[in-house]
Structure 1
Amino acid sequence: MVFIHFPLTIYGMRREHKTNPANRWPMSMSSLLDIKSSVLRQVQSRQSTRGRTEPEAPTSSPVVPCPESTSPRVAEGNGEFFERMKHILQKQENMHRMAQNEGQDDNGTALPPETVTDICVPEKVTRRELDLLCEEAVYTVMNRVGVPCPQYVTNERELFSYLQKVFAIESEEQNIILHRVQEAKRASYSLKVSVMEGKNLLAKDANGYSDPYCMLGILLGQTPRELEDRKERKFSFRKKKDKTEKRSNVREVLAAKCIQVTEVKPETLNPVWNEHFVFEIDDAFSDLLHLDIWDHDDDVSVAEACKKLNEISGLKGMGRYFKQIAKSVRSNGNAASAVEENVDDFLGCLNIPINEIPVDGCDRWFKLEPRSSASKVQGECHLILKLFTTQRDTCLSKRDSHLAIHEKLLSQIIGYEHSQVQVEPYNWDGTLSRPAQTVLSHHAVQAGLSPLQQAIIRWRCYSSHHRSQRMCYSFLLGLLWVIEEEWDAPSVQGELEASLADSFSLYTDYCLALLRNMRQTFPCSSPTAITRCEFMLRTLGHIHIMQAFKTVCPFRKELHLEISTVIKKTTVEWYEGIISQHKPDEGTLEEELRRLVSVVDAVCADVQRGQNVYNKLFSSSVKVEFFVVSYRQLEKLVAGDVSTAMERVRGMLEQEGSRLTHTMGETLFELYISLKTLQLFREFLPLRDAKMLALTGFHEWFKISIHMWLQIVHEKSCDRIHRAVEVDQLEPVHNLAKHSTSAVDVTTCFNQVQKFWAELSWPDSAGAFIFVTRLTDDICSAAVLYSELIKRKVERSQLGQGNKNLTSQVVPSCKEREI
């Protein structure tokens, strides 16, 4: 006895009681009608609930086909048809896994270029300009003052050797420049003194407070002997109380070229002045900054006398110095014997050698000193000191501003330093060598550049260099943070404001130009490139929220609008490139459809990359929904091209006597599946953007062809059944085998048909009912065909001669059948 069993399952045709064994029933025509009614009810129920609420985003993305993974075209045959259809369905799953793993490893591949030819790139400096710039750098080295930081180079020869490499000059040429600098005048220096505040001063008034003010000036350089005497006797801005005391030389009597005085702060031991003064320096290596703090007591004090003195300019005004000071230390013309009782009370002093001020300036609290061993003082004074040059004898300094010269010098050094980086030059973080830091710091000091000015120049130079040589974007972002910390709008005027606005605009335009080719510049297959893209976007987004940008670029368009425009444009250009690559408008209609499948698969892959990778970068950095903008653009373009092609297909099929070929049917099925995959991405769109998409209702384009394709499937199923019965040996069934070979093959065939229907997922309820009816009839007729064929084979076989009842048992068992 031979028993043949084969399970039969059709997706979308499951009864609600399928899990109950008691409800399993044998195949009959009335049961098939029940199936159709059940399917129609389920489809209508699903359709009635669609669109009432915004769908939740799926936890995983739709499968992504790949342009290179189209199903293979093998020789025509019974089994090959189902094998090709299986490849079409598996293609989606395989490409989904590939998309998920994409970008996990760089595999050591080189990064694509990031240069843009149509954006302003810094011009190369001429040899003449390089020589003048080298002269400026040499002059800076030979005129450096102040105490260098530990990381600076103090060896002059080492600095000259470094400059020779930076400017690529020969030794003879450098010697000429050195000689020219030695013959030039030395730099003239000035000192900026910011008297910020004092604390814990000595109380001189009966109310327990003082009325402090400061007097400060520059003491001229002293001879070695005078310096030794000064250790025993501190200078102060007042007349000597003892006429018998030996008078010092004229230089000490004059005390200072210019005396400056702060405001009087009444009744406080912790005064806050926050006043700024500038003094000329005769000799930066021997001059001394002297500061006195006094308690204001007289109607006509030393402070007021010095204020009047500072209003007088020229030698005649300086000639009145003695009379003014002498008058200030008397009380309304009293005798000299009464002077000591009425002059302002001394609260402390400071003596700071100019050559002990650090190169980068000094910002600290200084402990007040007594003027003699008998003086009683206490407290501290907060000063900010900074040296700078007022006159430089170089060709560039006579022609260009200090800002422009420092920017040129920094740009030249940046280019050289970057060329020395051997490992990952694209990721250079802008770190400069010790000689470079030394030269630039001294030049910034001598040029009198503020921290904000230096920060702006650094940003301008590095962002400009970035347009020709790739750098670390996180470093550029750090430069913007420094500008933001130091920002002071009133101090940024004229040349500096224009240059900052220009740098912001150029950087923005350059980044937008990179985004126009982002699929090649920042491919998802390279994690390094994606990281660079993220920091580039963060830098770009940070610029446009900075107060500095809003101040200097008030009329620039909003960034998210500019980026959205770029995404639309680059998406169209990318799609046009795919079209030109595959050329779907060439060849026969069938060849055109095959190429369209490749185009749609490429679009699906690009959409998935946009949703998985790019959208996160753009959304978090610049508040732009990359996926929404890109998907709507691509979906519209694909719909236009496919609908045009399907119009031609429909026109061909509606002709009398036309018939769908097997290969054309497979291609149309594959195109339908690819379009369905592309449409599934609408689940990631906001509800307002998911409405009225171009691909809505695209299934109607395939209605005629799907009917014909189902006929092909039925024919291939019948052919396969004939072949399965032919090769079946009808061997006796053992305990370990429940099915004959033909039953297994037929069951596999029906399962594949069921998968085809599930993948179609026809959204129209009326159309779905028609297709279910068609599939039901086809499956039933195929099952009957198999029964008849196997019955005849058994009857003809020797095994069936003595088994008259066998034909009644050939009907498939329904114990394992689910419909």
Structure 2
Amino acid sequence: MASSKSYFDSFSVQESDGNFFENFTALSWRQENKRLRATSEDGNDKIPPSELQFAIKPKFQPLNRKEFELLYIEVLYTIKHKIGTTAGGHQPIIQDLYQYAQESFGVSPEDHARLLAKATEEKPPILILNLTVIEAKGLEAKDADGYSDPYCMVGIIPGRLADQDLSNIVFSDDEEPKPKEKEKKSGLRKFSTSLRKKKDPTVKDLLPAKYIRTTIVQPNTLNPVWNEKFRLDHDDEFSVIDAAKKLNEVQSMKGLGRFFKQIAQSARTRSSGSVDDFLGCLTIPLNDLPSTGKDTWYKLEGRSAKSSIQGEIHLKLSLATREDRGIAEDDNWTDVRQHEDLISLFVQHEIRRFQDVPHKWSGNFPKAAKTILHQHAIQGDVTDVQQAIRWMAYSKKHMEYSFSYELLLKLLTDLDEKWTPDSFSREEEELLAESFTTFIDYCVSLIRRQREVFPFSNRAAFTRLENMLRCLAKIYSTKVFRSICPFEKELHSEIGTAIKKGTLEWYDRNSHTSDHEEDTIQRLIELTNTLNSDLHAGYIYYNKLYEGIVSVKYFIILYRQLEKLLGEEFNQSLKKTMNQLEERSKEARDTKHSPIMGTTLFELYLALQEFCSFKEKLPEGVLQLFNVFCGERSINIGTEEDTDYEVLSVV
């Protein structure tokens, strides 16, 4: 009987309270399901939303028609006068290079023929050798103390002398020339270096500096270190050999290495009566030099097969060209700008192949494009670090097509590794600084719209946000950025401001007003649930990303902003409906029926309770009181029989 009475008593309560507690349970479940749906990860690999729809759109000045044709002529000229061998010995077919250039530029066959004719009319470039004499080791001792005082003399054989056989006669220090069996002509330009012990420092002053270079003397050593750089070319009108003959300083010759040795010897003999001791020589055909250059140790050679020479020399060699176009030899600003424009055109050409998925482009060019870019760099004497500012071309095209942030991160890393304080001219620094600030502004604009562009539920999009933040962090950490952009705001400040503005803009898009009190309450429920979902995502996903990569406490910024906005929203909205709510509450008691409004208010209460629970996730010291209502009136929701049970008190 007791259990039966209890059953009927509970049934009576359910009838008398209008199934309020059943509604409470249903509301709790519904609230939880809303949160789970809003914060669930679908774990898919869908195409991420388009960044270009939400990001700012920087304006870049395109090439005009004249600039476009001049760049194309430069490319054709570069292909026509390709220098050096390709790695592995494989030579690309020149026609393939022309075809790729024509396709990437979108030039018609008629225009291609016309512009190729113009490129052919220009003078061919003069070959230049960039040489670094790094060090030597294991040299022969020439002094009584067991050491030597070595230095190195270097030069280049003019191209027109390739038609002469310079190795058919052998000379020695103290004998007249003797005939030697003719060797096969190489037909190649040659670079040569000769190493010797130096007793008098005036040899380089007695010889034409335009043709012959010498390193400094490293005294008392068999393992000298120089690290001296030289830039060698020739003048067909007045060659090294001719200059030396006019000075009557050539007494013997075996290739160019022996020639330089004898120049030094005769100069020493004439000036001081002493003779330098020969330590070894080396002759390298330039046409065998790879276009990528060479950095290696060479075994020193003797005057003849019978010579006893020991030791090695470490040389770094690379090729370049000099063109007679009215541009100062040390001014490659035009080449650097052209190189950036050329990369941009090739990037655009490759991106077009990916159509709707440019983010999947790896950034790799086909072999033809790589060859053209490499040849343009070495012929224009564009340095490694200047090539590293291809970041500028890629970042600009990224803001047009939105490809991989991982690729941009690699370019930034490469730039940072190669940069030194004297790497760039003032103009280059200005353009590089502009590329940094433009890219930062672009990324900041995306952070403001991250909920649409980088939803956490889209794995690919969320990964893009992660890599974008890494790019920003990399920019601010690089030496070059700190050097050329010293007055830029701190990164955490830029991002913090973007999060605040973005949250405010997102809130405004999700908040709308209503004059009807029931619509107002329902709107507040939906708004609060939306904010709860955003806070949950911010705490679980975005905060870890921002705090770990750019040291920005995303969740704290987010909660403070939403707390303020929601508090203002409640104050403004509920003031308008206080009287109506009191009247409806009184009407409910008079009619002894539980109003729908009571259930709605309780749903709002649950949403607010969840919102306030996020405050517990804030670190100590940042908690704030959250007052959502103002005024002094209380509204008691319940039935006439249960008026003392205060479900929600609004103060």
Q: TM-score, normalised by structure 1?
A: 0.67
Corresponding residue number in structure 1 for 2:449:
517
On the 8 A contact 2:55/2:442 being kept in 1, the answer is no
Query: Aligned partners of 1:171 and 1:354: how far apart in 2?
Result: 35
- Pick the aligned partner of 1:189 from 123, 127, 133: 127
Deviations 1:228-258 (A, max 9, x none): x62885x9xxx8532355799xx99x99961
Corresponding residue number in structure 2 for 1:266:
219
Deviations 1:625-664 (A, max 9, x none): 1111111001111011113333444445667994456122
Structure 1 letter corresponding to 2:470: R
Structure 2 letter corresponding to 1:570: G
Displacement of 1:498 in angstroms is: 1.2
Corresponding residue number in structure 2 for 1:30:
none
Structure 2 letter corresponding to 1:175: A
Displacement of 1:220 in angstroms is: 2.5
Residues 168-247 of structure 1: matches in 2 within 5 Å?
Answer: 168-221=106-159, 226-227=164-165, 230=167, 240-243=173-176, 245=178
Single out whichever of 209-218 and 654-663 deviates more from structure 2. Answer: 654-663
Structure 2: segments with no counterpart, 5+ residues: 183-188, 191-206, 251-262, 589-593
Query: Aligned partners of 1:276 and 1:224: how far apart in 2?
Result: 25
Query: Aligned partners of 2:90 and 2:540: how far apart in 1?
Result: 48
Deviations 1:143-181 (A, max 9, x none): 111011249761011111111101111112111122222
Aligned residue-pair number: 603
Displacement of 1:669 in angstroms is: 1.2
- Pick the aligned partner of 1:673 from 606, 631, 645: 606
- Pick the aligned partner of 1:275 from 208, 224, 228: 228
Deviations 1:267-307 (A, max 9, x none): 11111001111111468xxx99x9xxxxxxxxxxxxxxxxx
Residues 358-369 of structure 1: matches in 2 within 5 Å?
Answer: 358-369=290-301
On the 8 A contact 2:321/2:380 being kept in 1, the answer is yes
Structure 2 letter corresponding to 1:98: R
Corresponding residue number in structure 2 for 1:747:
none
The structure-2 alpha-carbon separation of the partners of 1:448 and 1:711, relative to structure 1 and needing over 3 Å to count, comes to same
Query: Aligned partners of 2:640 and 2:269: how far apart in 1?
Result: 122
- Pick the aligned partner of 1:557 from 489, 503, 507: 489
Residues 604-643 of structure 1: matches in 2 within 5 Å?
Answer: 604-643=532-571
Query: Aligned partners of 2:9 and 2:61: how far apart in 1?
Result: 73
The structure-2 alpha-carbon separation of the partners of 1:152 and 1:619, relative to structure 1 and needing over 3 Å to count, comes to farther
On the 8 A contact 2:130/2:318 being kept in 1, the answer is yes
Residue 432 of structure 2 is aligned to residue 504 of structure 1: no
Residues 88-127 of structure 1: matches in 2 within 5 Å?
Answer: 88-99=27-38, 101-106=40-45, 108=46, 111-115=49-53, 118-127=56-65
Corresponding residue number in structure 2 for 1:300:
none
SS at match of 2:494: helix
- Pick the aligned partner of 2:79 from 113, 129, 141: 141
On the 8 A contact 1:105/1:526 being kept in 2, the answer is yes
The structure-2 alpha-carbon separation of the partners of 1:431 and 1:333, relative to structure 1 and needing over 3 Å to count, comes to closer
On the 8 A contact 2:40/2:457 being kept in 1, the answer is no
On the 8 A contact 2:55/2:445 being kept in 1, the answer is no
Query: Aligned partners of 1:9 and 1:518: how far apart in 2?
Result: 54
Displacement of 1:102 in angstroms is: 2.1
Query: Aligned partners of 1:657 and 1:440: how far apart in 2?
Result: 79
On the 8 A contact 1:427/1:470 being kept in 2, the answer is no
Single out whichever of 661-670 and 479-488 deviates more from structure 2. Answer: 661-670
Query: Aligned partners of 2:287 and 2:405: how far apart in 1?
Result: 39
Structure 2 letter corresponding to 1:230: S
The structure-2 alpha-carbon separation of the partners of 1:504 and 1:649, relative to structure 1 and needing over 3 Å to count, comes to same
Residues 57-456 of structure 1: matches in 2 within 5 Å?
Answer: 81-99=20-38, 101-106=40-45, 108=46, 111-115=49-53, 118-150=56-88, 154-221=92-159, 226-227=164-165, 230=167, 240-243=173-176, 245=178, 258-281=211-234, 319-320=246-247, 322=249, 328-330=267-269, 342-391=274-323, 401-421=334-354, 424-456=357-389
On the 8 A contact 1:121/1:468 being kept in 2, the answer is no
Query: Aligned partners of 1:704 and 1:477: how far apart in 2?
Result: 58
Query: Aligned partners of 1:109 and 1:146: how far apart in 2?
Result: 44
Query: Aligned partners of 1:135 and 1:197: how far apart in 2?
Result: 41
On the 8 A contact 2:524/2:604 being kept in 1, the answer is yes
Displacement of 1:121 in angstroms is: 3.5
Structure 2 letter corresponding to 1:577: R
The structure-2 alpha-carbon separation of the partners of 1:89 and 1:612, relative to structure 1 and needing over 3 Å to count, comes to same
Deviations 1:425-472 (A, max 9, x none): 22322111111001000000001111111001x111101111101111
The structure-2 alpha-carbon separation of the partners of 1:9 and 1:565, relative to structure 1 and needing over 3 Å to count, comes to farther
Residues 515-594 of structure 1: matches in 2 within 5 Å?
Answer: 515-579=447-511, 583-584=512-513, 586-594=514-522
Residue 622 of structure 2 is aligned to residue 704 of structure 1: no
Single out whichever of 124-133 and 404-413 deviates more from structure 2. Answer: 124-133
The structure-2 alpha-carbon separation of the partners of 1:462 and 1:150, relative to structure 1 and needing over 3 Å to count, comes to farther
Query: Aligned partners of 2:158 and 2:219: how far apart in 1?
Result: 32
Residue 525 of structure 2 is aligned to residue 597 of structure 1: yes
Query: Aligned partners of 1:329 and 1:423: how far apart in 2?
Result: 72
Residues 644-793 of structure 1: matches in 2 within 5 Å?
Answer: 644-652=572-580, 658-659=586-587, 662-690=595-623, 692-693=624-625, 695-696=626-627, 698=628, 704-705=634-635, 707=636, 709-711=637-639, 714=642
Structure 2 letter corresponding to 1:114: L
Query: Aligned partners of 1:594 and 1:151: how far apart in 2?
Result: 75
The structure-2 alpha-carbon separation of the partners of 1:617 and 1:325, relative to structure 1 and needing over 3 Å to count, comes to closer
On the 8 A contact 1:590/1:664 being kept in 2, the answer is yes
Displacement of 1:104 in angstroms is: 1.9
The structure-2 alpha-carbon separation of the partners of 1:712 and 1:346, relative to structure 1 and needing over 3 Å to count, comes to farther
Residue 425 of structure 2 is aligned to residue 493 of structure 1: yes
Structure 2 letter corresponding to 1:640: E
Deviations 1:655-677 (A, max 9, x none): 79944561221122111111111
Corresponding residue number in structure 2 for 1:309:
none
Query: Aligned partners of 1:403 and 1:547: how far apart in 2?
Result: 21
Structure 2 letter corresponding to 1:4: S
SS at match of 2:477: coil
> Once superposed, what is the RMSD of the aligned Cα atoms?
3.8
Deviations 1:583-627 (A, max 9, x none): 23x232222111111111111111111111111111111111111
Identity of aligned residues (%): 34
Single out whichever of 186-195 and 109-118 deviates more from structure 2. Answer: 109-118
Query: Aligned partners of 2:379 and 2:565: how far apart in 1?
Result: 61
SS at match of 2:101: helix
Query: Aligned partners of 2:332 and 2:158: how far apart in 1?
Result: 32
On the 8 A contact 1:653/1:659 being kept in 2, the answer is no
Query: Aligned partners of 1:383 and 1:199: how far apart in 2?
Result: 12
Structure 2 letter corresponding to 1:509: D
SS at match of 1:209: coil
On the 8 A contact 2:169/2:177 being kept in 1, the answer is no
> For the pair shown, which has the larger CA radius of gyration, 1 or 2?
1
